[in-house]
């Protein structure tokens, strides 16, 4: 048995991530509740329903498991629609749930990382045009002010927006998220307002809590040219890189908001991040395709030879994680991997996926890059947006009908990793022998 192990730096944060609408249950006042009620929007007409029943108190079980398994942090989100009922109408009692949740996390030894917007908008915001309306960033800032005032002594790491670049693509280009548009002009408008919303939120957080760390979580996808030697494949991959991964990041870097031919400046956005939140799941192989202008002249497919998840949603491509980390490093800030994971109900590919991706994170952290934490998606199966309950990302399985949780083997693996702040040959041999040679072989 080799002696070497993959050891992470002291103080590394190990956690899982969740989002309000996906776990709480009973969220009936947001755009996703409306979307779930429209025919044909969600896989098999499924609904979030009770979700993981966190509102009913079952967060105690899930976070209790997380803490017992050695995690020291948890990323969760606060549901905007519960707190702000109209531009000036508040339900202060809605914050009690989050007070209890945050207190509970701390008692369990989990550092709370709070997300202020994870895909859902209050219905009243949705009805006035969502992020296409110039007033939305202003209303969002009010919500942020309200929340930060309450939690500034408890929460130090704030994620303003979850995957704003992914949100724009899903909502206004692919149309699989509400409002289901396929219109680059709307996408650009929403993108600009999301950048404004983030900027206002960032400044408000610092006004109320000068020492807080604030940033946003970016959806990073690997785009690799299918034929490395072919300039047009490289050009198509670069186009996707620029219009997906760099979409939000550029604005924060230099104030320039650019989506294909649209562009504007939001100067106030420059420098509004204290860390980079990197979310990486999968990559594509990209070939130039003249017939697909709407997809930026590209055909995308699963990278050759990569294992693929049961519904074909995720390919196991760790070099995308390596690329994402190296991309994130350009900003010279601490990096948190705020999401990474795979849908895999039978837990066939998750152990190897987890270890392969963590190896890339380890390489970066041990090369002296400022990689500070890793949050697996997710602790327990939850409602997967337009894919309903068809995909299972949990370390624990959930039967939404009975609310019964069942431990997957990956939970054992992740627990050992968290507890030992790294992974050892003996652990891998026992829990993921399929990847042992790859990680420890000569």
Instruction: Point out which span in 24-32, 161-169, 251-259, 296-304 binds ligand BGC (CB under 6 A).
Output: 161-169
90 or 313: CB nearest ligand BGC = 313
Instruction: Point out which span in 160-168, 177-185, 238-246, 353-361 binds ligand BGC (CB under 6 A).
Output: 160-168
- # chain residues binding ligand BGC, by CB under 6 A: 11
311 or 429: CB nearest ligand BGC = 311
* Contacting residue, 19, 51, 144, 159, with ligand BGC by CB under 6 A: 19
Contact 218, 212 (CB under 8 A): no
143 or 389: CB nearest ligand BGC = 389
Q: Does 320 bind ligand BGC (CB under 6 A)?
A: no
Please state the closest distance from residue 17 (CB atom) to ligand BGC, in A: 8
Q: Does 80 bind ligand BGC (CB under 6 A)?
A: no
Q: Does 389 bind ligand BGC (CB under 6 A)?
A: no
Q: Does 377 bind ligand BGC (CB under 6 A)?
A: yes
Q: Does 147 bind ligand BGC (CB under 6 A)?
A: no
What is the b/e burial string over 145-161, where b = at least 16 CB atoms within 10 angstroms of the residue's CB? Answer: bbbbebbbeebbbbbbb
* Contacting residue, 384, 413, 427, 428, with ligand BGC by CB under 6 A: 384
Contact 84, 128 (CB under 8 A): no
Q: Does 393 bind ligand BGC (CB under 6 A)?
A: yes
Q: Does 340 bind ligand BGC (CB under 6 A)?
A: no
Please state the closest distance from residue 4 (CB atom) to ligand BGC, in A: 32
* Contacting residue, 163, 285, 381, 416, with ligand BGC by CB under 6 A: 163
233 or 343: CB nearest ligand BGC = 343
30 or 427: CB nearest ligand BGC = 30
Q: Fill in the per-residue mask, 346 to 375: x = in contact with ligand BGC (CB under 6 A), - = not in contact.
A: ------------------------------
Binding site for ligand BGC (CB under 6 A): 19, 22, 162-163, 166, 219, 279, 339, 377, 384, 393
């Amino acid at each position: 048995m080799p002696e070497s192990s993959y050891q992470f730096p002291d103080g590394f944060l190990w956690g899982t991530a969740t989002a309000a609408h996906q776990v709480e249950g009973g969220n009936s006042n947001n755009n996703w509740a409306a979307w779930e009620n429209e025919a044909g929007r969600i896989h098999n007409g499924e609904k979030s329903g009770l979700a993981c029943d966190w509102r009913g108190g079952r967060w105690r079980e899930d976070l209790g498991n997380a803490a017992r398994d050695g995690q020291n942090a948890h990323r969760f989100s606060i549901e905007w629609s519960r707190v702000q009922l109209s531009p000036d109408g508040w339900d202060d009692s809605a914050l009690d749930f989050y007070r209890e949740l945050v207190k509970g996390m701390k008692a369990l030894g989990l550092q709370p990382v709070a997300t202020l917007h994870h895909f859902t908008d209050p219905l009243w915001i949705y009805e006035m045009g969502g992020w296409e309306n110039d007033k939305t960033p202003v209303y969002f800032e009010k919500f942020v002010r309200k929340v930060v005032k309450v939690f500034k002594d408890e929460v130090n790491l704030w994620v303003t927006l979850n995957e704003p670049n992914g949100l724009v693509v899903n909502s206004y280009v692919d149309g699989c998220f509400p409002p289901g548009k396929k219109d680059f002009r709307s996408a650009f408008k929403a993108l600009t307002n999301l950048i404004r919303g983030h900027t206002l939120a960032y400044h408000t957080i610092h006004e109320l809590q000068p020492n807080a760390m604030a940033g946003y979580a970016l959806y990073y996808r690997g785009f690799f040219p299918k034929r490395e030697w072919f300039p047009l494949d490289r050009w198509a991959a670069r186009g996707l890189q620029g219009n997906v991964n760099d979409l939000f990041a550029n604005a924060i870097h230099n104030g320039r908001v650019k989506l294909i031919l649209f562009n504007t400046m939001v100067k106030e956005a420059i420098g509004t991040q204290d860390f980079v939140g990197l979310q990486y799941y999968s990559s594509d192989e990209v070939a130039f395709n003249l017939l697909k202008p709407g997809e930026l002249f590209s055909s995308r497919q699963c990278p050759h030879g990569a294992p693929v998840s049961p519904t074909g949603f995720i390919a196991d491509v760790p070099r995308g994680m390596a690329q994402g980390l190296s991309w994130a490093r350009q900003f010279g800030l601490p990096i948190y991997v705020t999401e990474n994971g795979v849908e895999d109900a039978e837990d066939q590919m998750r152990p190897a996926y987890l270890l392969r991706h963590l190896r890339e994170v380890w390489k970066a952290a041990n090369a002296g890059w400022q990689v500070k934490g890793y949050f697996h998606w997710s602790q327990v199966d939850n409602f997967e947006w337009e894919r309903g309950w068809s995909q299972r990302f949990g370390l624990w399985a959930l039967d939404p009908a009975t609310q019964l949780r069942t431990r997957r083997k990956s939970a054992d693996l992740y627990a050992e990793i968290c507890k030992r702040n790294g992974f050892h040959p003996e652990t891998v041999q026992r829990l993921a022998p399929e990847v042992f040679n790859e990680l420890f072989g000569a």
